[in-house]
Amino acid sequence: MFSEKIFYNKKHLYILVFVLFYFWGLSAATIESDTAISQSKTVQLNSVTISSKLKDANIKSGSTGISIDIDDIKLLPKIIGDADPFKALQYISGVSQTGEAKSGLFVRGGNNDQNLILFNGIQIQNPTHILGLFSSFNPELTEQITFIKAGMPAEYGGCLSSVLDISTSLNIPEKFTLDGSIGLISSRFTIKVPIAKKISFYAAARSSYINLIIMPFLEKIGIDKDITSNKYGFYDINAGFNYKVNSKNTVSGHFYFNTDYLKMVNIRNLYLGNSKMQWSNLGFSLQHTSAFSDSFLFHQQFSLSNFNMDLKWADLLIGTTSKYNSTVYKADFTNLYRLHNFKYGVECSYNMSFPNFLEAAAVSNVQGSSEYNSIYSALTSLFFRDEINFKKLQINVGIRANVYFHLGDYTDYREGNNNVYYKKGKIVKPYFGVEPRLFIRYLLNNVSSVKFSASRNIQFLNQIPTINFGIPADFQMPASLYVKPQASWHFSGGYFHNFKNNMWETSVEAYYKNMENQLEMPNGDFMEIFTKNVEQTVLSGRGYAYGLELSVKKTEGKITGWLSYNLSWTWRQFREINNGKPFLANNDRRHNASLILVYKLNEHWDFSAVFIYATGSKMNLPLSWYVLGEKLMLEYGDYNAFELPAYHRLDLSVNYKFKSFRRFSSELNLSVYNVYNRKNPFQVYYNTTDGFGMSYLLPIIPYLSYTFHF
């Protein structure tokens, strides 16, 4: 599906595209400058997402996108004191529970790296803190969350599974506001400041103090030093401004930074020895929106994103580093014309990725490879889509065309020292791919509709996980000379029906997804990938997934909530694995169910509960032992043939809202994570002395937090 056409004049191509779009935007703004347009129109045009405030949004919405209501999320149990928009996504249909202490989204059989996560246009590589317990997105800043798992419009690309687009408010607040949350292990504060009528500023910070307060306290009351000598910390910072230049133009800038630090001195059965790890995500974006008329909008943004991971393990003798930098410019036009809603534009990015670097102490008995490469790449995507709205029928048809270059400098390491060197800027490998997209919705009547989507998706940046729990110890592995881009065909269809004046929303959806060029670590042993040239070592295969999703949601009344259930199969097939036979992927979940209930007793009290159940993940365990060649050997059966015990958990929460005093309002929250202390398996292991064993991480965790708004 990829053609490898070479564009030798790529610099000119980029400059031309950039200049054309920029000046087209500016000139159009000038021509239409005397057309009046209200701010509310601007916001409406800027968003192609569904507003859940519309009662029948699930029936009439285009694509199978979901707009998450922030107010609803704030009522859910607060894990470690914070309402978490990212965590809430794991409770909706189509998204699998990943297991104990595992972060990330696994959407319809896709891997975690197949989600495009955008925060104000900044691409986020690692959106979670504390083993994936909660996200790094500040709930007080988050204004709009759009999650698309099928029927992805053409303006989104670079991912196979889903889009999570999170944005902060563009409105200028009338008064200074201060929000905060004070908890046992972390606190956060958010301010929004109107500087003038047209400009406002916001800043938010959150930090943990586990090492400063919790660990010394635990040590004082006699908790084992094996636990208290481990260290963990995190913080995140958001800042930005909104500038309403005039009635037609708005400019905003956003800064995002999150970092986590982990030092494990002694955790049994993790097999890492003493280890230290730090990972961080830094981003910046500048956005400009111009409304030329009430039917013509121009939006452009420039963003920078950086992800950095440093890991030292095996008693700090071995260290590895993985990095990713991306610079993106995106410009698009939205144009309403009769029944049509056109959107077209361009997205250009320049990326630097450093998959891994191994640094080993001489006494570690590990010899790192000297064959390291940074991978530079440039991607240009042109997209066009038309959403046509007939009375009952809506068709969203689009196309996205990509030109991708793996660029020098780069050394192609070959046998016999016949290496080939590509100098800086030279094209090492080009890829060209086209992504057609189609979405159809037909209204059967006022309360029911059917939807169908078919889409081709191509992904040029991949991540290869090295540790199977909530630490983002992933190698950033873009398409290169040896690694082809991932691609998929995704077909999805569903029936949506509302009852009782839209109080009850129900849906049933089915999907099939075929994925090419999926990546897997060789030998399941990450030493292999640390000690050799990564892009030549990683295995490539195919995957396919299919399933059925049911959802029932109650939107009104004292008791609200939803129930979602997924029945799914997720397969992978690699020539080098399982003797070439298909095998169930690690993230295969036959059954996955979530039940969310919220009970508003009165204006002061509300209660909520989350129950989730998921079939256990797949892994390899030995079937038998025997003696051969004077060694004790283990016989493994088919790949991933063992299924861990099921994952299930109940979280409860109670909120008490204090009486407001002038502008000051506050509430106290008590949340209990894993109420019945289910010891969900974190790791299953086998050793020749004790046989099989299981380790657990997260027991019952009560948490008290105080949140205020001024």
CB 584 within 8 A of CB 545: no
**Residue whose C-alpha is closest to residue 353's, from 322, 399, 393:** 322
Region of 71-79, 364-372, 540-548, 626-634 interacting with another protein (CB under 8 A): 626-634
**Residues 500-529, interacting with another protein (CB under 8 A):** 522-525
For residue 212, the minimal CB distance to another protein (Å) is 26
User: Which CB, 321 or 620, lies closer to another protein?
Assistant: 620
For the CA atoms of 675, 680, 682, 688, the dihedral, rounded to the nearest 10 degrees, stands at 140
Least CB distance to another protein at residue 313 (A): 14
Widest pairwise Cα distance in the chain: 88
Nearest approach in angstroms of CB 102 to another protein is 16
- Selected from 623, 656, 660, 704, the binder of another protein by CB under 8 A is 623
Structure tokens at 537: 């070592």
Question: Which class for 531: exposed (0-12), middle (13-18), buried (19 or more C-beta within 10 A)?
Answer: middle
Nearer to another protein, 370 or 689 (CB): 689
Of the candidates 301, 304, 254, 302, the one whose C-alpha atom is nearest the C-alpha of residue 281 is: 304
Residue type, 514: N
Q: Are 360 and 368 in contact (CB under 8 A)?
A: yes
**Cα 31 → chain centroid:** 40
**Nearer Cβ to another protein, position 8 or 271?**
271
CB of 252 to another protein, least distance (A): 47
Q: Which range of residues in 105-113, 278-286, 570-578, 600-608 is near another protein by CB under 8 A?
A: 570-578
Q: Give the count of beta carbons closer than 10 Å to the beta carbon of residue 331.
A: 22
HEC-encoded secondary structure of 492-536? EEEEEEEECCCCEEEEEEEEEEEEEEEEECHHHCHHHHHCCCHHH
- Residue with Cβ nearer another protein (381 or 570): 570
- Residue 147 or 647 with smaller CB distance to another protein: 647
Piece in contact with another protein (CB under 8 A), picked from 116-124, 220-228, 249-257, 639-647:
639-647
Residue number, 245 or 623, with CB nearest to another protein: 623
| CB closer to another protein, 178 vs 539 | 539
Q: How far is CA 350 from CA 6, 56, 126, 275, 304, in A?
A: 17, 41, 19, 33, 10
Q: How far apart are CA 648 and CA 616, in angstroms?
A: 9
* 316 is an interface residue for another protein by CB under 8 A: no
Indicate whether 370 belongs to the interface with another protein (CB under 8 A): no
Phi, psi of 447 (to 5 degrees): -120, 5
Please pick, from the candidates 268, 391, 631, 662, the single residue that binds another protein as defined by CB under 8 A. Answer: 631
- Rounded to a whole number of angstroms, the minimum distance from the CB of residue 96 to another protein is 19
The whole-angstrom separation of Cα 153 and Cα 361 is: 49
Nearest to 179 by CA among 143, 122, 141, 150: 141
Q: Which residues contact 169 (CB under 8 A, 6 or more apart)?
A: 141, 143, 242
Residue 641 interacts with another protein (CB under 8 A): yes or no: yes
Interface residue with another protein among 122, 675, 698, 705 (CB under 8 A) is 675
Site for another protein in 571-610 (CB under 8 A): 574, 576-579
**Under the criterion CB under 8 A, does residue 635 sit at the interface with another protein?**
yes
Which residue among 530, 639, 682, 703 contacts another protein (CB under 8 A)?
639
Binding characters for another protein, 66-105, by CB under 8 A (x = yes): ----------------------------------------
Which of 6, 212, 339, 634 is close enough to bind another protein by CB under 8 A? 634
With beta carbons less than 8 A apart as the criterion, state whether 358 and 366 touch: yes
**643 to 662: interface string for another protein, x by CB under 8 A:** --xx----------------
Binds another protein by CB under 8 A, chosen from 223, 393, 637, 663? 637
The DSSP bridge pattern shows strands 375-389 and 340-360 to be antiparallel
Residue placing its CB nearer to another protein in the complex, 294 or 643: 643
Which CB sits closer to another protein, 21 or 647?
647
Q: Per the structure block, which two tokens stand in for 618?
A: 């797949």
Q: Which residues contact 262 (CB under 8 A, 6 or more apart)?
A: 230, 231, 232, 275, 276, 277, 278, 471
Helix (H) or strand (E) holding 50: none
Q: Using an 8 Å Cβ cutoff, are 324 and 355 in contact?
A: no
> Interacting stretch for another protein, rule CB under 8 A, among 423-431, 473-481, 490-498, 670-678?
670-678
Helix (H, G, I), strand (E, B) or coil at 457: strand
DSSP string, 20-46: HHHHHHHHHHHHTTT----HHHHHHHH
Judged by CB under 8 A, the residue of 624, 659, 661, 662 near another protein is 624
Only one of the segments 437-445, 470-478, 634-642, 654-662 lies at the binding site for another protein (rule: CB under 8 A); that segment is: 634-642
Distance CA 391, CA 658 (A): 48
- CB-wise, 9 or 688, nearer to another protein? 688
Instruction: Give the span between the Cα atoms of 353 and 463, in whole angstroms.
Output: 11
Question: Using the rule CB under 8 A, which residue among 107, 130, 598, 619 binds another protein?
Answer: 619
Candidate residues 8, 271, 390, 499; the one interacting with another protein per rule CB under 8 A: 271
Q: Considering CB under 8 A, how many residues would be counted as binding another protein?
A: 54
> 679-708: which residues touch another protein (CB under 8 A)?
679-681, 684-689, 691-694, 699-700
421, 625, 656, 658: which one contacts another protein (CB under 8 A)? 625
Per CB under 8 A, does 223 bind another protein? no
Taking the complex as a whole, the smallest distance from the CB of residue 648 to another protein amounts, in Å, to: 9
Closer CB to another protein, residue 196 or residue 628? Answer: 628
Binding region for another protein (CB under 8 A): 271, 522-525, 574, 576-579, 619-639, 641-642, 645-646, 675-681, 684-689, 691-694, 699-700
